[in-house]
Chains A and B, each alone.
Chain A
Amino acid sequence: MNKSASFKSMTKGFGLDQAMAEAERCLLCYDAPCSKGCPAATDPGTFIRKLRLKNITGAIRTIKENNILGGACGVLCPTSRLCEKECCASGIDRPIEIGKIQRALVEHSWARNFQVFETPELRKGKVAVVGSGPAGLSCAAELAREGCRVTILEARPEAGGVIRYGVPSYRFDLDFLARELADLKTLGVEIQCNVSIEGQGGAEKLLQSGYDAVFLATGLWDTLRLKPDSGELKGLISSIEFLASLRDQRFQQVSESLAGKSVAVVGGGSVAMDCAEAAAKLGARDVNLVYRRSFSLMPAEKEERIEVLDAGVHFHLLNQPVDFVSNAEGQIQGLKLVRTRLGEPDASGRRSPEAIPDSSWVLDADLVIEAIGNQARSESPHWYPNVQVDSLKLIQSDPSTGQTSVAGIFAGGDIVRGPALVVEAVQDGKVAARGIVEYLAGKDV
């Protein structure tokens, strides 16, 4: 397989036989702890029991009815700290590989063309879902199954949000996404792409233009900056732009431009890992990952960190970037770093890095990718001026219903939680859908 093809396809998952063999290790627990460990209540305890008893279609139905992105979660979930962390089989030897079973069942439904969903009868209410990421898709599916007429408004050219534009293809490929999106279509959800609600009060106007309720799931699409006022530099790119470019028409050009280059990635989270691994896989000569704390304090999952090391990325731990080095033409040439040591724990409980005096040095780089965190788009509060937001511009909503400060406007996903997991966004969508259905019933729609 050539480089580009291998970049674009995911590692093969379990086949049905392997999934069955794994399910046979399951202890079929009473009051299954794994099911309690799933933020989206995908209910692995039930779908594994169904698989074990050869009720394979039932197992698939359990997954997809509980979690419209059951396939995506099977691939992307950090299961070792969710369902699998709770697994009683750990007391025997090791947890059941729940994520892999889940993915296998969803893929099996495609192989045997088993349709979980039928197109529901339209009964009540017209709802606009803003954003087609995990929260939006989940809310839309749940509402459609309740008989609502749902339209998803997506500002980008294609649907999927962060699982399309924020993940490299080898981690989650587009074909897989397309198949999960097909279920939305079956459910009668309309997805309108290239439709933005930007502009003064756009979201609130939807309530006056025929929608009975609105669900805001716009996500976090600005990257935190090391030096917000450093201006435009050639070779300085945000993680959001870098990852998005690998999923659209820019792929070929970006991929070619990386060949032989020295890349520096700043950050220690999952996004930084994705950027670094992607750059390495696409043929960058050296990929240097710069993180100000130690290996074990990185927010990225352990498996991800190991994978990135295996991909040949050089880790520069206990190094804090302080400035960009560029030439007269504004082309990045390197990153100025200072060495750090770990001091007292900060609010997050992790020991905070302290700069070591006179330790600065320059790491050569042709391209610097900033991956130190995502935040709400700075202008986003203007899209919904009456909706209460906090100091980080995150929307305030009732966790049990998704209701915001404006009647009829609900919200969920990262724009409410801050950076969170796909599976948590799925849950937000489900919760808000229930909130919306109740709201519509109260309004007698």
Chain B
Amino acid sequence: MTRKKIDLSVDFCGVKFNNPFLLSSSPVSNSAEMVANAFEAGWSGVAFKTLNSDRVRIVHPSPRMNPYHYGSKRLVGLQNVEQISDRPLKDNLLDFLYLKKNYPDRVIISSIMGFSNEEWAYLAKASEDNGADMLELNFSCPHMTVEGSGHKVGQANHLIEKFTETVKRAVSIPVLAKMTPNITDMTEPALYAKQGGADGIAAINTVRGISQIGLDDWTARPKVAGIGAISGTSGPAVKPIGLRFIADLAKCEQLGLPLSGQGGIETWIDALEYLLLGSTTLQVTTGIIHYGYRIVEDLIEGLSDYMAERNIERVADLVGKALPTLQETDKFDLDRQGTAHYDVERCVGCGQCLVVCNDSAGQALEWDAEKRRPRLIEDKCLSCMVCSFVCPVTDLITYKEQPKNWQRQETEVMGKDLEGQLKLEVCK
């Protein structure tokens, strides 16, 4: 199949999206000027920066973000204390009208956050009346300071149900509930949202975290006039957490709602993983903060080529495809064991495998100091595969399953001659 024939469009809660890629509600979707540029680049929709009703004046802390770097790799994570939109409601709604007029085939999801039933209903109605195609209820902003708002709602199930119900009564467009990951089990609040009438779930919002402590001032970053705070962390560093929550939601049969996945998506591979675990649409912020709207070209092209190579015609055919094999760990077949396998011909001789095997695994490698090559003692190999994680040559070290009757050596006991001194009572 050729890439040209690939149709990336998805149906999500009855709304058509040209592709699964949306801006999430965040600094990258703050105004129509920005969103128009994103639409030009190829994004199919936007969860607009969360509206506020002008009742409370919003002032963003300064500075408001901090990077999490790893070595010289920049922005592996991002911490952000920005609040909901600081713009007047009218300005945001005019921006909706502008976008709807100029980009009628793109989807506007209005993210809203109220502080009372009336306010939720008011914002929902105002959004619907001014062009929003969907709503996203922000139950999850991790750094709102007002009780009864943001993630504090996401942690209070009855409020989720109540506010969702209120919104659903006020509008006829589909409603998403956006969930916080700062809880143990997301399915529970999601079910309350469903109870309130939610049409879909968006997850995850940012993970409460601390990205950095200043070593001179002993203050967490971002430092706002001498004060640090725990706040929302996002980006590739949180992707494993996002994937886990999406999988939890997707596997919850009682829930059965379409999902908008997000959390650390930068590349088409990240996007595909979210699709395979059950997301239908995908939202991005930190990837855009790092690289700009242009990354959508790579998301689209990469996903299309993947689908073309495998004759997969529709994105819907990928959604949830990794779920059947995703089981609890007690489902593992422990009778099937294996080892690492070394293609030593390709070895460059760095010996990192030896270091990690000695210090964190089975001491299963011998070292030819002259030739600088490892040799695997197969029956000592634990098959942890950490050697392959540090090996600089891709696929030099692979996993090999061993036959059924294969036996691993037992771990060396150093104190055999001290048995007389052993103090151990038999467990009854």
Are B350 and A88 in contact, CB atoms less than 8 angstroms apart? Answer: yes
List CB contacts (< 8 Å) of B345-404 with chain A. Answer: 347-352, 354-355, 367, 369, 372, 392-393
Given the known inter-chain contacts A88-B349, A92-B348, please indicate yes or no for A30 contacting B72, CB distance below 8 A: no
CB of A249, distance to nearest CB on chain B (Å): 45
A52 cross-chain contacts in B, Cβ below 8 A? 71
Q: Taking the complex as formed, is A28 at the interface, i.e. its CB lies under 8 A from any CB of chain B? A: yes
B347 cross-chain contacts in A, Cβ below 8 A? 91
A379 cross-chain contacts in B, Cβ below 8 A? none
Q: Taking the complex as formed, is A229 at the interface, i.e. its CB lies under 8 A from any CB of chain B? A: no
CB of B370, distance to nearest CB on chain A (Å): 11
B-contact 0/1 string along A24-41, CB 8 Å cutoff:
100111110100000000
Interface centre among A28, A30, A89 (most CB of B within 10 A): A30
Question: Which of A20, A21, A30 contacts B367 (CB under 8 A)?
Answer: A30
Are B350 and A24 in contact, CB atoms less than 8 angstroms apart? Answer: no
| Cα of A21 to Cα of B69 in the assembled complex, Å | 12
| Cα of A22 to Cα of B307 in the assembled complex, Å | 37
B71 cross-chain contacts in A, Cβ below 8 A? 20, 24, 52
List CB contacts (< 8 Å) of A86-116 with chain B. Answer: 88-92
Are B72 and A29 in contact, CB atoms less than 8 angstroms apart? Answer: no
| Cα of A89 to Cα of B392 in the assembled complex, Å | 9
Are A30 and B351 in contact, CB atoms less than 8 angstroms apart? Answer: yes
| Cα of A240 to Cα of B72 in the assembled complex, Å | 44
Are A30 and B348 in contact, CB atoms less than 8 angstroms apart? Answer: no
A-contact 0/1 string along B69-106, CB 8 Å cutoff:
00111000000000000000000000000000000000
Are B352 and A28 in contact, CB atoms less than 8 angstroms apart? Answer: yes
Q: Taking the complex as formed, is A390 at the interface, i.e. its CB lies under 8 A from any CB of chain B? A: no
Are B72 and A88 in contact, CB atoms less than 8 angstroms apart? Answer: no
| Cα of A88 to Cα of B351 in the assembled complex, Å | 10
Question: Which of A20, A24, A28, A91 contacts B349 (CB under 8 A)?
Answer: A91
| Cα of A31 to Cα of B71 in the assembled complex, Å | 23
B348 cross-chain contacts in A, Cβ below 8 A? 27, 88-92
Interface centre among B350, B367, B392 (most CB of A within 10 A): B350
Given the known inter-chain contacts A17-B72, A24-B72, A92-B348, please indicate yes or no for A30 contacting B354, CB distance below 8 A: yes
| Cα of A21 to Cα of B70 in the assembled complex, Å | 11
| Cα of A21 to Cα of B74 in the assembled complex, Å | 11
| Cα of A31 to Cα of B349 in the assembled complex, Å | 10
Are B392 and A27 in contact, CB atoms less than 8 angstroms apart? Answer: yes
B349 cross-chain contacts in A, Cβ below 8 A? 29, 33, 88, 91
Are A20 and B72 in contact, CB atoms less than 8 angstroms apart? Answer: yes
A20 cross-chain contacts in B, Cβ below 8 A? 71-72
A30 cross-chain contacts in B, Cβ below 8 A? 350-352, 354-355, 367
Q: Which of the four size classes fits the interface of chain B?
A: 10 to 19
B393 cross-chain contacts in A, Cβ below 8 A? 91-92
Are A27 and B352 in contact, CB atoms less than 8 angstroms apart? Answer: yes
A88 cross-chain contacts in B, Cβ below 8 A? 348-350, 372
Residue of B nearest to A53 (CB): B71
| Cα of A30 to Cα of B348 in the assembled complex, Å | 12
CB of A56, distance to nearest CB on chain B (Å): 13
| Cα of A89 to Cα of B349 in the assembled complex, Å | 9
List CB contacts (< 8 Å) of A105-132 with chain B. Answer: none
B367 cross-chain contacts in A, Cβ below 8 A? 30-31
List CB contacts (< 8 Å) of B387-427 with chain A. Answer: 392-393
| Cα of A20 to Cα of B348 in the assembled complex, Å | 22
A31 cross-chain contacts in B, Cβ below 8 A? 351, 367, 369, 372
| Interface residues of B, dominant DSSP | loop
Are B392 and A92 in contact, CB atoms less than 8 angstroms apart? Answer: yes
A92 cross-chain contacts in B, Cβ below 8 A? 348, 392-393
CB of B354, distance to nearest CB on chain A (Å): 5
| Cα of A17 to Cα of B349 in the assembled complex, Å | 27
Interface centre among A33, A52, A89, A91 (most CB of B within 10 A): A91
Residue of A nearest to B70 (CB): A24
Residue of A nearest to B367 (CB): A30
Question: Which of B72, B73, B350, B354 contacts A27 (CB under 8 A)?
Answer: B350
| Cα of A52 to Cα of B72 in the assembled complex, Å | 9
Are A21 and B372 in contact, CB atoms less than 8 angstroms apart? Answer: no
B355 cross-chain contacts in A, Cβ below 8 A? 28, 30
Interface centre among A17, A28, A52, A90 (most CB of B within 10 A): A28
A-contact 0/1 string along B172-201, CB 8 Å cutoff:
000000000000000000000000000000
List CB contacts (< 8 Å) of B329-348 with chain A. Answer: 347-348
CB of A145, distance to nearest CB on chain B (Å): 30
| Cα of A20 to Cα of B71 in the assembled complex, Å | 7
Are A29 and B392 in contact, CB atoms less than 8 angstroms apart? Answer: no
| Cα of A90 to Cα of B392 in the assembled complex, Å | 12
CB of B232, distance to nearest CB on chain A (Å): 26
| Cα of A8 to Cα of B392 in the assembled complex, Å | 42
| Cα of A20 to Cα of B72 in the assembled complex, Å | 7
List CB contacts (< 8 Å) of B259-313 with chain A. Answer: none
| Cα of A30 to Cα of B368 in the assembled complex, Å | 12
A90 cross-chain contacts in B, Cβ below 8 A? 348
Residue of A nearest to B353 (CB): A30
Are B72 and A21 in contact, CB atoms less than 8 angstroms apart? Answer: yes
| Cα of A371 to Cα of B64 in the assembled complex, Å | 63
| Cα of A45 to Cα of B350 in the assembled complex, Å | 11
CB of B257, distance to nearest CB on chain A (Å): 43
| Cα of A24 to Cα of B71 in the assembled complex, Å | 8
A91 cross-chain contacts in B, Cβ below 8 A? 347-349, 393
Residue of A nearest to B71 (CB): A24
| Cα of A89 to Cα of B352 in the assembled complex, Å | 12
Residue of B nearest to A29 (CB): B350
| Cα of A65 to Cα of B196 in the assembled complex, Å | 69
CB of A112, distance to nearest CB on chain B (Å): 13
B369 cross-chain contacts in A, Cβ below 8 A? 31
| Cα of A128 to Cα of B20 in the assembled complex, Å | 78
B72 cross-chain contacts in A, Cβ below 8 A? 17, 20-21, 24
| Cα of A28 to Cα of B391 in the assembled complex, Å | 11
B351 cross-chain contacts in A, Cβ below 8 A? 29-31
B350 cross-chain contacts in A, Cβ below 8 A? 27-30, 88-89
| Cα of A21 to Cα of B73 in the assembled complex, Å | 8
| Cα of A296 to Cα of B349 in the assembled complex, Å | 30
| Cα of A29 to Cα of B349 in the assembled complex, Å | 8
CB of A20, distance to nearest CB on chain B (Å): 5
| Cα of A31 to Cα of B373 in the assembled complex, Å | 12
CB of A46, distance to nearest CB on chain B (Å): 14
CB of A266, distance to nearest CB on chain B (Å): 43
CB of A98, distance to nearest CB on chain B (Å): 15
Interface centre among A31, A89, A90 (most CB of B within 10 A): A31
17 A-B residue pairs with CB within 8 Å: A20-B71, A24-B72, A24-B73, A27-B392, A28-B355, A30-B354, A30-B355, A30-B367, A31-B351, A31-B369, A33-B349, A88-B348, A89-B348, A90-B348, A91-B348, A92-B392, A92-B393
Query: Beyond A21-B72, A30-B352: 6 further Cβ-contacts under 8 Å?
Result: A28-B352, A30-B351, A30-B354, A88-B349, A89-B392, A91-B393
Please give me the 5 A-B residue pairs with the lowest Cβ-Cβ distance, nearest first: A91-B348, A30-B351, A27-B350, A21-B72, A88-B350
